[in-house]
């Protein structure tokens, strides 16, 4: 049997002229055409992986340097070439550590500032969360390196890794991260592209399709830089076609207007989060939202954000909400209000949206936030940290068989805060729903990256579904977003205001609404399966 090994260093002297096709040949594990100093093959390579991951956070909101989402994964792919699987895994882990340390740093704010937890404990919990998330990129790197070893050292094998295997593995691990332990799909590559031509893929293939195009572009970019002659030209043409085709796809109209526009008022109360659980502050909170609502009776639909009221609906149903509902009916308005809702027998309670229209109807949040809205392993973790003992941290999830809420005869798709990070769940109410509503309490995260990142995620849901989005938050960012994910109006953060505008209901279905994530998942598993078969046949032929 022939032995297969991967060199841990790439040498300047290991160079050969290109062959007639423009492909550069390599006779051992070192890359013959990629001139790299040996210092990158050990700890400087690890440092570059860490820094590249940290810099990738700049590709997302509020910085929106979206080209970095192509360049920096290409750097990581480069650092995986010609190194053993364990080193590729370690570099992948460091890359993830950098990305989530910066991109998810807002978790510290929630735990320390508003979570009744000491600074050292908040640092520990945030670090533990980041270290867990980095495991996904670490395992991705290890498997990528393992596949590269099995495929061998030829240029064609390198192309198979860069153009197919590694981009597909990237997206597969994004999907796994969005599913394991209820999921954390934050900072997926595709979200950074909401303003780039690749966003045109979202209505057809969803967020994972956009991520696949970004990761594929990264692999293709590196392959082009490492190629010469006709192969380089061919790679440039393919890259151009991906980006131009995506841009043209984004111009297609998958949905159409139905009915008349509805005038809307989004009520951003900007009541301090620190007063949320103070009994004496409830009256002031109710007063603020009632006053802002009474100033908005000229709007047909008035929406309050998630947990704008911090007591159960039934506690104020007769004394506060019923008079307000009657007042709204007199002015031809309907209300959507985010608040906790308890079952009549007090057996469970939910984070909910209550529709105060001709009838009172309720939507219960289905996808809860671990440790924030419920505590896994509750009997073990309660009491360890203040963050695990917050009031109302024992919500129950709503059922998946709920019917969509209806306003002015139009069914709508409501998501509460974190729920809109899961596109496959938002489309459960489509194509029946005519527009999207998201209510969030972003006050948990203060002046951090989270509100901007979350708004970017929300805009992607509008683009995927071909539906306009009404987004209302406690202290910003509230916004009107059209069916192409474009911002029509937005509020100022940390300011009390009522954002006014119109929403045009739409009907029809984008391909993503019809098929969800299945087409992309099918591509991922098929490509990875083919690569595994190719690697196995190569090993068998060499035995």
Question: Contact, 483 vs 249, CB < 8 A?
Answer: no
The C-alpha atoms of residue 445 and residue 212 are separated, in whole angstroms, by: 30
227-236, 246-255, 295-304, 516-525: range with lowest mean pLDDT: 227-236
* Residue 92 host element (H or E): helix 85-103
Token representation of residue 396: 């129950």
Which two three-digit tokens encode residue 255?
A: 């949905």
**Which residue has better confidence, 82 or 128?**
128
Residues in contact with 506: Cβ distance below 8 Å, sequence separation at least 6, in sequence order: 255, 256, 257, 258, 434, 435, 466, 467, 468, 483
| Active-site position among 174, 417, 424, 464 | 417
Quote the pLDDT of residue 8: 36
Q: Crossing angle for the helix pair 166-177 and 202-225, nearest 10 degrees?
A: 140
The model's pTM is: 0.91
How many residues would you count in the chain?
A: 543
Assess whether pLDDT exceeds 80 at residue 4.
no
Determine whether 365 is an active site residue.
yes
Distance (Å, whole) CA 206 – CA 423? 8
CB-facing half-sphere around the CA of 216: CA atoms within 13 A: 21
Looking at residue 41, what is its pLDDT? 66
Q: Which of 13-17, 196-200, 276-280 is most confident?
A: 196-200
Q: So what's the pLDDT on residue 389?
A: 56
Domain 255-509: assigned CATH number: 3.60.110.10
**Among 251, 196, 207, which Cα is nearest to 512's?**
207
Residue 327: CB atoms within 10 A of its CB come to 15
Could you report how far apart the first and last alpha carbons of the chain are, in Å?
5
Q: Which pair of tokens denotes residue 249?
A: 């796809």
DSSP-derived secondary structure letter, 374: B
Between CA 154 and CA 101 the distance in angstroms is 36
Which has more confidence, 33 or 106? 106
User: What is the rounded distance in angstroms from the CA atom of residue 33 to the CA atom of residue 16?
Assistant: 7
SS3 502: strand
CA–CA separation, 490 vs 404, rounded Å? 26
Summarised one tens digit per residue, pLDDT across range 18-30 is 343 344 444 343 4
Domain boundaries, the chain: 38-252+518-542, 255-509
Q: What is the pLDDT of residues 325-370, one digit of tens each?
A: 999 999 999 999 999 999 999 889 999 999 999 999 999 999 998 8
The pLDDT-based confidence of 538 (bands split at 50, 70, 90) is low
Among 8-17, 307-316, 339-348, 457-466, which stretch is predicted with the lowest mean pLDDT?
Answer: 8-17
Sign of CA dihedral 182, 188, 191, 192: positive
Which of 132-146, 147-161, 302-316 shows the lowest mean pLDDT across its residues? 147-161
The answer to whether 417 is a known catalytic residue is yes
Q: Positive or negative CA dihedral for 279, 280, 283, 286?
A: negative
In the residue annotation, 41 being an active-site residue is answered as: no
Q: What is the pLDDT of residue 482?
A: 98
Backbone angles phi, psi at 408, to 5 degrees: 50, 40
Q: Is the pLDDT of residue 34 over 60?
A: no
pLDDT (tens digit per residue) in 408-417 = 999 999 999 9
Residue 518: closest CA among 156, 209, 276, 92: 209
Across 92-96, 308-312, 476-480, least confident range: 308-312
Among residues 41, 174, 365, 425, the one annotated as catalytic is: 365
Cα gap 173→177, rounded to integer Å: 6
What is the model's pLDDT at position 63? 98
The two three-digit tokens of residue 135, written as one number: 């495991």
Among 46-55, 245-254, 389-398, the minimum mean pLDDT is found in 389-398
In the chain, pLDDT over 70 holds for what percent of residues? 86
Measure the CA–CA gap between 162 and 73, rounded to whole angstroms.
11
Q: How does residue 164 score in pLDDT terms, banded at 50, 70 and 90?
A: very high
Query: Is the link from the previous residue into 62 a cis peptide, with omega within 30 of 0?
Result: yes
Q: Please state at what angle helix 119-151 crosses helix 166-177, rounded to 10 degrees.
A: 150
The whole-number pLDDT of residue 80 equals 95
User: Is the pLDDT at 158 greater than 60, yes or no?
Assistant: yes
Q: Is the dihedral of CA 294, 299, 301, 307 positive or negative?
A: negative
Pair of tokens at residue 500: 């006014």
Of these residues, 46, 306, 373, 424, which one is catalytic?
306
Taking residues 66-81, report their average pLDDT.
97
């Amino acid at each position: 049997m022939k032995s297969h090994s991967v060199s841990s260093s790439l040498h300047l002297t290991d160079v050969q002229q290109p062959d007639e096709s423009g492909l550069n040949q390599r006779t051992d594990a070192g890359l013959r055409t990629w001139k790299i100093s040996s210092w990158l093959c050990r700890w400087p390579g690890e440092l570059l992986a860490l820094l590249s991951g940290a810099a990738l956070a700049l590709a997302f909101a509020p910085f929106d340097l979206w080209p970095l989402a192509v360049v920096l994964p290409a750097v990581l792919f480069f650092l995986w070439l010609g190194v053993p699987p364990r080193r590729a895994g370690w570099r992948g882990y460091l890359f993830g550590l950098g990305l989530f340390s910066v991109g998810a740093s807002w978790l510290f704010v929630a735990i320390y500032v508003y979570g009744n937890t000491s600074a050292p404990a908040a640092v520990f919990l945030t670090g533990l969360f980041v270290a867990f998330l980095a495991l996904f990129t670490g395992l991705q790197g290890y498997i990528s390196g393992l596949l590269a070893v099995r495929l061998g050292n030829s240029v064609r094998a390198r192309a198979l890794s860069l153009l197919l295997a590694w981009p597909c593995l990237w997206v597969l691990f994004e999907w796994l991260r969005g599913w394991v332990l209820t999921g954390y799909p934050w900072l997926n590559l595709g979200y950074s592209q909401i303003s780039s031509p690749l966003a045109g893929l979202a209505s057809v293939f969803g967020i994972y399709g956009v991520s696949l195009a970004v990761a594929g572009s990264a692999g293709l970019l590196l392959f082009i830089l490492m190629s010469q002659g006709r192969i380089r030209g061919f790679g440039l043409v393919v890259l151009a076609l991906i980006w131009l085709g995506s841009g043209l796809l984004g111009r297609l109209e998958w949905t159409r207007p139905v009915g008349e526009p509805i005038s809307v008022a989004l009520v951003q109360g900007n009541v301090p989060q620190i007063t949320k659980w103070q009994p004496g502050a409830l009256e002031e909170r109710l007063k603020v939202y009632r006053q802002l609502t009474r100033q908005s009776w000229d709007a047909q639909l008035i929406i309050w954000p998630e947990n704008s009221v911090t007591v159960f609906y039934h506690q104020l149903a007769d004394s506060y909400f019923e008079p307000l509902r009657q007042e709204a009916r007199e002015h031809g308005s309907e209300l959507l209000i985010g608040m906790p809702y308890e079952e009549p027998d007090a057996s469970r309670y939910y984070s909910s949206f209550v529709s105060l229209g001709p009838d009172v109807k309720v939507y219960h949040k289905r996808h809860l936030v671990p440790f924030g809205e419920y505590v896994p392993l509750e009997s073990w973790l309660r009491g360890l940290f203040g963050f695990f003992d917050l009031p109302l941290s024992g919500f129950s999830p709503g059922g998946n068989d709920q019917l969509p809420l209806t306003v002015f005869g139009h069914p709508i798709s409501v998501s509460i805060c974190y729920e809109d990070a899961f596109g496959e769940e938002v489309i459960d109410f489509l194509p029946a729903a005519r527009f999207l509503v998201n209510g969030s309490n972003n006050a948990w995260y203060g002046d951090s990256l989270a509100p901007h990142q979350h708004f970017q995620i929300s805009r992607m849901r509008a683009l995927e579904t071909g539906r306009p989005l009404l987004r209302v938050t406690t202290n910003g960012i509230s916004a009107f977003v059209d069916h192409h994910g474009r911002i029509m109006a937005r509020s100022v953060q940390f300011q009390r205001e009522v954002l006014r505008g119109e929403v045009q209901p739409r009907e029809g279905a984008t391909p993503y609404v019809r098929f969800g994530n299945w087409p992309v998942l099918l591509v991922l598993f098929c490509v990875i399966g083919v690569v595994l078969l190719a690697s196995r046949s190569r090993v068998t032929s060499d035995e």
